[in-house]
Chain A
Amino acid sequence: MARLSLQVREALKRQVPKVAKKDLNREVRKAFKRTKNQMMKEFLQLPITQELLAGPESANISGTLRGVTNLFAFIGFDAGEKPVDIIIQALENTNIQFRKELKKGEKLGAEYSINLPTPEQIFAITPMPWALGRSWARGIESGISGLGFLLRKNNRGRSGRAIQSRVKVRGGAFKPTPYITAFLQKYKKKFECLEYKK
């Protein structure tokens, strides 16, 4: 078999990493997309998300209010509001970016950064409808008073549901439940472990 000329061999040597890099990049992005899709799907399936998405007529499927009223009315959202949309949007904006190449001997690698939102960023975009400096998403985790519910009731039930309730709903009725912080921690770990080996 004829030997390739030195020039051809040098040219191939230069091209191989480029091809491998392209391949690696494609596979990493594929793995990222897979995890991101899984994250979106899981977020939409969380009972709290589902209950809030269902609006003022929802049952308390999250169990946070022991079946009395529902989160949408309890927090005091107006009928027609879609409080979870902003979180979905923030999660949708999660992206991957190539940062630098990594080389170790013959091995080829790359470093990427992923801009998954932090819990603090989510808390900043989820204001309580009655006190804009407070976050309802944080409140789900640490506790929410029945103030929003009572205010809406006094205010002819803008949530469309609060006015109908004859049950006295109290802040003490709310059971704090892990939500954004635990969810993002889980996916931060998953994204950190994104690995592609060939």
Chain B
Amino acid sequence: MKEQFQHKVTTSFFMWFDNFLLTKGEAFSNKTGEFSYYEDARLDSTYKAYGSPFKTWVTDSSITGATIPTGVFINGNFSGRDDGVVLDFENGRALVSGSDEDLTVTGEFSVKDFNVYITNDTEDDLIVENKYKVNSRLPSASYGAISPYDDVVPAVFISTANSTNEPFAFGGIQNTSVQVKAVILAEDTYQLDGVLSIFMDSVNECITSIPMTGYPITELGDLKDGSYSYTGSEAGYTDNRKFYVDSVTTSKLTDRDRKSLAHEMYVGFIDFDIKQMRLRFT
């Protein structure tokens, strides 16, 4: 099936949300450290996985002050993509080609304060049922590699809830409204209030419509063209009709209810109403 409006909304919103949080909140920290080898049965035998203790890494080079890695140091020598290294930003690791499992791999990267995920899970699943690994930034005696593929908190889970079309103008122009819900799982109230505050102020923001082909990550978690900047991607689609944030409502899970959860996370909600005036099937 070819790309539809809903696909574009989801991709564009996700990329905008990530950039907005990193830009407005400077919600990342720069890290340097050693990566540890671990076995990954899902991985092609061409690669060995060396994981950092944190994920997800920042991919967006338009974020001032963020370190976007282009490679890692293997036994003290820099190795980049041309040397067969794949940087898996999503799982916070370097995939090194070859069969060596005892290399000394180190690197520099920026880790997001909040991982951002697109999800189909319901709020009850996200908040009550699911178990998460915590990407704690607190110093600890020893860091191991963080396990791949699982969702890691603090995180924001984004889902598109429902959409409606309302006649807007002669000629068949519709006012399309998409309800986007975000569930935030934070480690403390400072983090939670920060995210809620940033997005409360996102009302009236315009979001560039970016097609799925503009999504920068490959199936291995690396950057498609070796680098990515949100502002650069936006610039490639300036002629596309923009979405706008018509309204935003933020709220927190009450403390009384938070205490009944099995985990210690602080939970918040952001309800966006995203609109675009458009012709159907465009």
A residues with a Cβ closer than 8 A to B are: 128-134, 142-143, 145-147, 149-151, 154-155, 170-172, 176
Contact = CB atoms under 8 A, between A and B. Distances in A.
A74 B256 CA distance: 17
Interface size range on B against A: 20 to 34
Contacts of B269: 131, 133-134
Contacts of B242: none
B254 A143 contact: no
B179 interface: yes
B162 A176 contact: yes
Contact of B128 (A133, A134, A151): A151
Contact of A133 (B123, B179, B252): B252
B39 interface: no
Contact of B249 (A133, A146, A171, A172): A133
B250 A147 contact: no
A146 B261 contact: no
B43 interface: no
A134 B271 contact: yes
Interface string B224-268: 000000000000000000000000011111101100110000000
Interface string B161-188: 1100000000000000001000000000
Contact of B124 (A129, A132, A150, A176): A150
B85 interface: no
Given A130-B253, A147-B128, A171 B123 contact: yes
B30 interface: no
A129 B260 CA distance: 14
B127 interface: yes
B122 interface: yes
A69 B75 CA distance: 62
A44 to B, nearest CB: 28
Most buried by B among A142, A151, A176: A151
A62 to B, nearest CB: 18
13 contacts: A130-B253, A131-B251, A131-B252, A132-B252, A133-B252, A134-B249, A134-B269, A142-B179, A147-B122, A150-B128, A154-B128, A155-B257, A170-B124
Contacts of B251: 128, 131-134
Interface string B113-156: 00000000011100111000000000000000000000000000
B179 A172 contact: no
A142 B161 contact: yes
Contacts of A146: 122-124
Contact of A130 (B161, B250, B257, B271): B257
A142 B124 CA distance: 17
Contacts of B123: 145-147, 171
A133 B250 contact: yes
